[in-house]
Chain A
Amino acid sequence: MAETSTRIHNIGYRSYEGSRLGRAYARRSLYSQSLRGAYGLGRSAKSKVLPMLLFAVMCLPAAIIVAVAIAVPGSKDLPLKYTSYALYLQMVIGLYLASQAPQSVSRDLRFKTVPLYFSRPIERVDYVVAKYAAMVSALFILTAAPLLVMYIGALLAKFDFADQTKGFAQGMVSVLLLSLLFGGIGLVMAALTPRRGFGVAAVIALLVIPYGAVTAVQGVAYGTDNTGAIEWMGLFSPITLIDGVQTAFLGATSAFPGGYGPSAGTGVVYLLVVFALIAGSYAALMSRYRKAGL
């Protein structure tokens, strides 16, 4: 003990003989740093405000739903399906993604920190995987937390356990898919530019403009009784893709006009498009960082 306390005053250089945990550990470190960063942890107090606020906004309606369900006598189920929750709060999810995806990747590009990462034991694939996984995890926490609140509330209210568990599980699968899809396209948009502001704008544009267009065209199709076209329109915006997949496979009620969601057959196409977009996002990120090395 005495030995170590005297060492404090020894200002000579000490070499490091301890363990070096290598590439997998470095990748995990980057993942946890990026995930924490997505909620402002380990960053300035100012950068904690927005993610924490959005997280609270995301969870608050769930808490109200639970409170109402418990307070209303004789209720047998939650007033809202688990799978519908993310659709109703898609603006909050969009804002979160638009603010945090550029934070995660644009900063490294803008301040040219990327070359420092690549001078470490990690490879390009480790950087992309760590950043992607961190963004997906952050989105999953954001979207799964309110569902968990609803599920716990439903169990406290002694609603049917099997029903609730099934609904909750379907909701979880849905938000996981949503996190993978949104995380991927959000990071690709953000990684296109070192400018954070452009990144924010690009992400919002990608989520809002196709959704607005799809909804408008679907509305027209519904108004002119072309209901068969409605289920195909949903392929062209991220959130309606998720809507379609969960309507076809996860027992969700579609938010499409008139509830004309895709059938199981069309649903396969939805699922393929979602997987193609996720794989495409990953490939786009990999090629983006081929040039961004040193």
Chain B
Amino acid sequence: MTVIATESLSKRYTKVTALDRLSLDIGPGVTGLVGANGAGKSTLIKILLGLSPATEGRAAVLGLDVATHGSAIRERVGYMPEHDCLPPDVSATEFVVHMARMSGLPPTAARERTADTLRHVGLYEERYRPIGGYSTGMKQRVKLAQALVHDPQLVLLDEPTNGLDPVGRDEMLGLIRRVYTDFGISVLVTSHLLGELERTCDHVVVVDGGKLLRSSSTSDFTQITATLAVEVTDSDTHPDGTRALREALVTAGVALHPGEEQGLPGAGHILLVEATGEETYDIVRDTVAGLGLGLVRMEQRRHHIAEVFRDDQQQGHQDPEAARRAAAWAANTAATAHAAQKGAGTDG
């Protein structure tokens, strides 16, 4: 089943080309739409909602043509804009009830659905207070609630984590994940941060300059090979446990990641081991035990999507222009992801 399909979709304004022959095929689940500012994400959303005609090409949402069935699409789709959109002088309940009725829900159903939806996004007693007094995180929840209140089959979320602190960001990403896993509603979520989508999405679509750069499932992006991070204690017989383990592992024929992790706390004490299968875990465990060291941690560390981009252009899979842009941008994103990781703690 296809949720969103576009076919050589183009949108040209007098001076800019916002979308350039974009062909997508997005199935159910959580899909991330990644791109720098101005990459054409918002334009795509406008076209998918049937609010802006495409210059050429076709697009269908839930099997309905956007050019002819805009109204029917908007009845089945929820939309959360990037910018503020909430009047400060009404309560979340009043506002969401009104928006539910604007989606066609009868008055009683609108009230029931509003109470349910606000509870699901985590707003309780405060929902009766005027929105003007809410924190950014609470406002984002109200915005999400109004997109979900009519029980759509698909929600389009435009930069839902904008302006949130790290904790609020994690909560919002968790909530977005639940929208699909618990509520059964497919999600298209845009972001300019790859790192945050790889945790949430089943599928990631990367656009740049209105063109499709890459579209594949998140596992393709990040789980080509699993990397294990291993940290051990020192002992009297092995004053430098990490070094002893490294030597022992090399002897046992386990591939170690060449570059040790840089810049993170305790970086010198973490070994990155390439896991080729289940047996690698056993070898590591047995080797550590054999040396008489304490195993502090052994965890799966996924590649970041940005690394995949670097690999891609090293292998020269893409045309030079796109690769150059992707490289510049991946470097940017990697830096951001790295900084975020540093801020959040040591677990990758």
Q: Would you list which residues of chain B between 177 and 223 have a CB under 8 Å from chain A?
A: 182-184
Q: A119 and B49: CB pair below 8 A?
A: yes
Q: B182 and A21: CB pair below 8 A?
A: no
Q: Would you list which residues of chain A between 106 and 150 have a CB under 8 Å from chain B?
A: 107-108, 111-113, 115-123
Name the residue of chain B whose CB is nearest to the CB of A25: B104
Report A68-111 CB contacts with B as 1/0, cut-off 8 Å: 00000000000000000000000000000000000000011001
The interface size bin for chain B is: 35 or more
Q: Looking at the assembled complex, report how far the CB atom of B163 sits from the nearest CB atom of chain A, in whole angstroms.
A: 15
Q: B109 and A16: CB pair below 8 A?
A: yes
Partner of B84, one of A11, A44, A111: A111
- Chain A: how many interface residues by the 8 Å CB criterion? 37
Q: A44 and B119: CB pair below 8 A?
A: no
Report B32-64 CB contacts with A as 1/0, cut-off 8 Å: 000000000010011001011000000000000
Q: Given A111-B87, A112-B81, A121-B104, answer yes or no on A13-B183 (Cβ-Cβ < 8 Å).
A: yes
Q: A30 and B102: CB pair below 8 A?
A: yes
Q: Looking at the assembled complex, report how far the CB atom of A13 sits from the nearest CB atom of chain B, in whole angstroms.
A: 4
Complex Cα distance, B99 from A30, in Å, reads: 9
Q: B104 and A20: CB pair below 8 A?
A: yes
Q: Looking at the assembled complex, report how far the CB atom of A285 sits from the nearest CB atom of chain B, in whole angstroms.
A: 18
Q: A23 and B71: CB pair below 8 A?
A: yes
Name the residue of chain B whose CB is nearest to the CB of A21: B104
Partner of B102, one of A11, A12, A29: A29
Partner of A42, one of B45, B78, B94, B120: B94
Name the residue of chain B whose CB is nearest to the CB of A14: B116
**Which B residues are CB-close (under 8 A) to A26?**
101-104
Q: B116 and A120: CB pair below 8 A?
A: no
**Which B residues are CB-close (under 8 A) to A11?**
119
Say if the beta carbon of B89 comes within 8 Å of chain A. Answer: yes
**Which A residues are CB-close (under 8 A) to B86?**
111, 113
Name the residue of chain B whose CB is nearest to the CB of A46: B89
Q: B87 and A121: CB pair below 8 A?
A: no
**Which B residues are CB-close (under 8 A) to A113?**
85-87
Say if the beta carbon of B79 comes within 8 Å of chain A. Answer: yes
Say if the beta carbon of B285 comes within 8 Å of chain A. Answer: no
Q: Looking at the assembled complex, report how far the CB atom of A276 sits from the nearest CB atom of chain B, in whole angstroms.
A: 31
Q: Would you list which residues of chain B between 85 and 123 have a CB under 8 Å from chain A?
A: 85-90, 94, 98-99, 101-106, 109, 113, 116, 119-120
Q: B183 and A116: CB pair below 8 A?
A: no
**Which B residues are CB-close (under 8 A) to A20?**
75, 103-105, 150
Q: Given A42-B94, A121-B75, answer yes or no on A115-B85 (Cβ-Cβ < 8 Å).
A: yes
Q: Given A16-B113, A21-B105, answer yes or no on A119-B79 (Cβ-Cβ < 8 Å).
A: yes
Say if the beta carbon of A265 comes within 8 Å of chain B. Answer: no
Q: B51 and A120: CB pair below 8 A?
A: no
Q: Looking at the assembled complex, report how far the CB atom of A105 sits from the nearest CB atom of chain B, in whole angstroms.
A: 12
Q: B81 and A116: CB pair below 8 A?
A: yes
Complex Cα distance, B45 from A42, in Å, reads: 32
Q: A107 and B52: CB pair below 8 A?
A: no
Q: A33 and B98: CB pair below 8 A?
A: yes
Complex Cα distance, B81 from A112, in Å, reads: 10
Q: Looking at the assembled complex, report how far the CB atom of A125 sits from the nearest CB atom of chain B, in whole angstroms.
A: 12
* Chain B CB within 10 A, most for which of A11, A22, A116: A116
Complex Cα distance, B111 from A16, in Å, reads: 12
Name the residue of chain A whose CB is nearest to the CB of B179: A13
Q: Looking at the assembled complex, report how far the CB atom of A24 sits from the nearest CB atom of chain B, in whole angstroms.
A: 9
Q: Given A26-B101, A29-B102, A118-B51, answer yes or no on A294-B182 (Cβ-Cβ < 8 Å).
A: no
Q: Looking at the assembled complex, report how far the CB atom of B37 sits from the nearest CB atom of chain A, in whole angstroms.
A: 16
Q: B116 and A22: CB pair below 8 A?
A: no
Name the residue of chain A whose CB is nearest to the CB of B103: A120
Q: Looking at the assembled complex, report how far the CB atom of B90 sits from the nearest CB atom of chain A, in whole angstroms.
A: 7
Complex Cα distance, B74 from A122, in Å, reads: 9
Residue pairs across A and B with Cβ atoms less than 8 A apart, 8 shown, are A15-B183, A16-B109, A18-B109, A19-B109, A112-B81, A116-B85, A121-B71, A294-B51
Closest 10 CB pairs of A and B: A16-B151, A119-B79, A29-B101, A20-B104, A120-B102, A13-B183, A21-B104, A121-B75, A111-B87, A121-B71
- 10 A-B pairs besides A15-B151, A16-B105, A120-B99 with CB distance below 8 A are A15-B184, A29-B98, A33-B98, A112-B85, A115-B85, A116-B146, A121-B72, A121-B75, A121-B102, A123-B71
